[in-house]
Structure 1
Amino acid sequence: MDEATLVNATVADRQAVVVKAGEGERLPVLGTQVRFLCEGAHMGRRFSMMEVTLPLDMGPPPHDHDWDEAYYVLEGDVRFQLGDESRLFTQGDFIYAPGGTLHAFKGASSTPARVLVLDAPATMEGFFREAAREITVFPRDLAKVPALGQKHQLRFRPPA
């Protein structure tokens, strides 16, 4: 796996980062693929950014957490749940979920959707890395998700 290129331009606890097409650490997480574009460690934990590939009907179950997340649909269709409302979003759509908002999303097109995900402050990386290590056999390992989420301050909720 390629890692982001850290450019020799550091300001306080932040570094310039360049990730070329096809580069960046990739992890299989809950049936999706997460590609790290800008890790929190390079940004003083202010935010992180990932590209998530969502096959049809794959994505995280309903959950909430204390940090903010923003999503930009690069391609494909994605079904988002925000609170009690479920809506279909497509290429070019933007979604913001403030901390504390119950939300979920999954691929909704026959070809995998791609979504940019920004979390602020940077928090999700630890969960993604541990989930990629611990949740490898479906559906058996899915029972680990609630405890793993709790460890990383994610509160998973039963689907509506």
Structure 2
Amino acid sequence: MDKQAIAVRCGTAEALSVLGTQVRFLCEAERTGHAFSLMEVVLPQDQGPPPHDHPWDEAYYVLEGEVRFLLGEQEEVFRKGDFIYAPGGTLHAFKGALPEPARVLVLDAPATAEGFFREVDREVKSPSDRSKIPEIGRRHQMRFHAPG
């Protein structure tokens, strides 16, 4: 599909519930010919994806709050205004670090993460459904690793 111009007003993007977070796609993959997608993620304290890797690149910009990131073997807290880049294949994880939720812009290139997020939102509705996540990840080229 060809690239398409888009404008999204604050608060109008569809909200997905993914791994304890809220994900809003501000620019979906189909709008950019799958070159990239851009999402806003709200991270409550201690919520976010476990350690994982995938073949596409991701970049993060912290808009509000604090986020605990694992990049490779290094864990660090990032704050408002900080930028993080995780090339494809990098082990990474992130979660809100404070009682107040953090807000992060996430860019993935090429746009690949959207299918995973939509499937998790559709299929994982209760804690008992979390066992589905590794298989959903495999279908979308995402590998989860044991924490620690």
TM-score (norm 2): 0.98
Rounded to whole Å, the distance in 1 between the matches of 2:45 and 2:92 is 18
Q: Look up the match of 2:116.
A: 127
User: What is the CA RMSD across the aligned residues, in angstroms?
Assistant: 0.9
Corresponding residue to 1:152 among 140, 143, 148: 140
Q: Look up the match of 1:6.
A: none
Rounded to whole Å, the distance in 2 between the matches of 1:81 and 1:37 is 25
| Higher alpha-carbon Rg | 1
Q: Look up the match of 1:93.
A: 82
Rounded to whole Å, the distance in 1 between the matches of 2:146 and 2:116 is 19
1:25 Cα deviation from its structure 2 partner: 1.2
1:61 Cα deviation from its structure 2 partner: 0.5
Percent of pairs identical after alignment?
A: 65
Q: Look up the match of 1:19.
A: 8
Rounded to whole Å, the distance in 1 between the matches of 2:48 and 2:33 is 28
Rounded to whole Å, the distance in 1 between the matches of 2:105 and 2:59 is 8
Rounded to whole Å, the distance in 1 between the matches of 2:63 and 2:144 is 26
Residue 152 of structure 1 aligns with an amino acid whose one-letter code is H
Q: Look up the match of 1:66.
A: 55
Partner of 1:15, secondary structure, is coil
User: Per residue, is there more strand in 1 or in 2?
Assistant: 1
Q: More relative contact order in 1 or in 2 (CA 8 Å, sep 6+)?
A: 2
Q: Which runs of 5+ in 1 are unaligned?
A: 1-11
Residue 143 of structure 1 aligns with an amino acid whose one-letter code is S
Q: How many pairs were matched up?
A: 148
Residue 136 of structure 2 corresponds to residue 143 of structure 1: no
Runs of 4+ aligned structure 1 residues displaced above 3 Å come to none
